[in-house]
Structure 1
Amino acid sequence: MPIINSQVQPFKATAYHNGEFQTVTDESLKGKWSVFVFYPADFTFVCPTELGDLADRYEEFKKLGVEIYSVSTDTHFTHKAWHDTSDTISKIKYPMIADPTLAISRAFDVLIEEEGLALRGTFVINPEGQIKLCEIHDNGIGRDAGELLRKVQAAQYIAKNPGQVCPAKWTPGAETLTPSLDLIGKI
């Protein structure tokens, strides 16, 4: 079954968030847009560049009603230690979910079984708990928070405007398309 438009599978995990350990479940996602950003491990190299980029743009996501969740197979204790010792990671205000049982990474199909680590997976989830965007990278390829923000804006736009689609490089306020027979061969 394709992961796009599927429901997030039930889960329960501990996250490090704003100096505390908190429980996050699939029910925590309901009623708001969410972004899950899987990464291989704390105390690595590409990961802090991505998570720091997300931290720098976090308020822009919040203004759109979006919560970001970073997820790795580390423990919540490791997340706290990384947060406490890295200038880049200390900027993070979004929940850092621990997945030491590998269950969440496996459910989102990003787990590298033989390594016990996640690939770089990005998922945009609508308020009903459906996955609307899935992007999985090799672990050597970093992501861009600005491009993710644009994709979230596009997902929100088409959710509010059924029958319209956002073309490549679409940004809020730009022209959208309404698929029809009249457009075939004219784009």
Structure 2
Amino acid sequence: MSVLIGKKAPSFTAKAVQRETVIEDFSLDQYLDDKYVVFFFYPKDFTFVCPTELHRFQEELAEFEKRNVAVVGCSTDSEFSHWAWLNTPRDKGGIQGVSYPLVADINKTISHAYDVLAGVETIDEEGSLKVEGELVAYRGLFLIDRQGIVRHQVVNDMPLGRSIRECLRVVDALQHFEEFGEVCPMDWQKGEKAMTADQQGVSEYLGGK
């Protein structure tokens, strides 16, 4: 698994769907020098755990927007599958009402670039392509800053849903550090005391003299 922390987020141009509109040339580059990005991968449209995550991101979208964060989803499904799922009512297993973009990684190049692609491709002795498992994305999530640098990443196996609360907490921690230069200890929450990255700062945080 590649560690992308501190590196430029892999750039791409692909089709995406937002509400009922198909975007032909979608790129995260549009957010450079403007917005933070939470870019998350999920395995498949029309499944069970995935819609709980996509709906939860939508429910918290105002919180992300308040923090100047763009939310973008991605799977290896086509734009046609995304469009159909977005136009299927929630009570029928759809994600109608989701308003942030969903990228179509049908060629699996984006999942590969972010190193979240499950399954293994091999070439046998006869030169034939063999695949073990399904070539779909794990539940990867990447927090990208306004300069396009990955500052946080987490990858879950397919049965394991993520925490939107933790995602927002990490956004708050990054923005606190950028604004005040203070580092944020374990389980830090917005509004709590942080510390400077030196012995005095640690001592003050712990209540020392």
TM-score, length basis structure 1: 0.93
- Structure 2 residue 177 is matched with structure 1 residue 177: no
| Aligned residues: CA RMSD | 1.6
* Corresponding residue of 1:155: 174
Summarize deviations over 1:28-56 as a string: whole Å, max 9, x none: 23121000110001011110011111111
Give distance in 1, aligned partners of 2:26 and 2:40.
15
- Structure 2 residue 167 is matched with structure 1 residue 167: no
Judge which range, 83-92 or 149-158, deviates more: 83-92
CA contact (8 A) 1:110 1:136 kept: yes
* Corresponding residue of 2:96: 90
CA contact (8 A) 1:57 1:146 kept: no
Instruction: State percent identity of aligned pairs.
Output: 35
- Give the CA deviation at 1:173: 1.3
* Corresponding residue of 1:11: 12
The residue type paired with residue 146 of structure 1 is R
* Corresponding residue of 1:139: 158
Unaligned runs of 5+ in 1: none
Q: How many residues align?
A: 185
TM-score, length basis structure 2: 0.83
- Give the CA deviation at 1:91: 2.1
Which stretches of structure 1, 4 residues or more, deviate above 6 A after TM superposition?
none
2:27 to 25, 28, 31: 25
CA contact (8 A) 2:41 2:74 kept: yes
- Structure 2 residue 79 is matched with structure 1 residue 60: no
Unaligned runs of 5+ in 2: 121-133
The residue type paired with residue 147 of structure 2 is E
Judge which range, 46-55 or 150-159, deviates more: 150-159
Which one has a bigger Cα radius of gyration? 2
| Partner SS for 2:56 | helix
